[in-house]
Structure 1
Amino acid sequence: MLERTKHKNGTQITFVLSSEHPAGDVSVVGDFNDWQPGAHPLTPRPDGHRAVTVVLPKGQQVGFRYLAHGDYWFDEDTADGHDGHNSLLHS
């Protein structure tokens, strides 16, 4: 799930997953962090989910995917689109 907050110069995106699936550590990896695994790990929230927030500059399209333990890559169903390889966001 994605939570968005529009700002004057961009969009704050919070990537949210359940605490159970997938098991283990998960990070969001994409154009905004040069595809560096572990740069944006999802951390527990009080509501029982895991999340991490990034700010994207206004007017950009970025690709991203989630990376879980065991080199398990997966997409976000609620993304703005998919290009066949990655989930896409428009800020």
Structure 2
Amino acid sequence: MLTRARLFGSKTRVTFSLPLDHPPGVVSVVGDFNGWEPGRHELLPRRRGIRTISVILPSGAHRFRYLATGGLWLDDEMADHIDEHGSQIFL
């Protein structure tokens, strides 16, 4: 799940979250904001059976997907659009 909170100026805090146990293993959010680099924004275990990571980004469109252990790509139903390459977009 994807949530957004407006911050000062043109910044937005974007929080990415998934259930703690699905999929098993390590999950990272990769996107144009981190060079599509796995492990750079790894979702971490939290209370209530979820794992999350928050990233502060400038306003605008950003492409992303989740990447789990074993090369499993995951989608987020809260994305605003999906581009021609299958990347999800939030505005």
Per the TM superposition, whether the score is higher than 0.5 is: yes
The list of structure 1 runs, each at least 4 consecutive aligned residues, that deviate by more than 6 angstroms after superposition, is none
TM-score (norm 2): 0.92
Secondary structure at the aligned position of 1:73 is classed as strand
Q: Who is 2:13 aligned against?
A: 12
Question: Paired residues, what number?
Answer: 89
Alignment gaps of 5+ in structure 1: none
Partner SS for 1:33: coil
CA RMSD of aligned residues (A): 0.9
Quote the sequence identity (%).
46
Alignment of 1:60-71 (within 5 A): 60-71=60-71
Per-residue CA deviation, residues 4-46 of structure 1 (Å, 9 max, x unaligned), is 1111222100001001111110000000101101100000111
In the aligned structure 2, how far is the partner of 1:49 from the partner of 1:77? 16
Task: Calculate the TM-score normalised by the size of structure 1.
Answer: 0.92
Map residues 1-91 of structure 1 onto 2, 5 A cutoff.
1-7=1-7, 8-58=9-59, 60-84=60-84, 85-90=86-91
Ranges in structure 2 where 5+ consecutive residues have no aligned partner: none
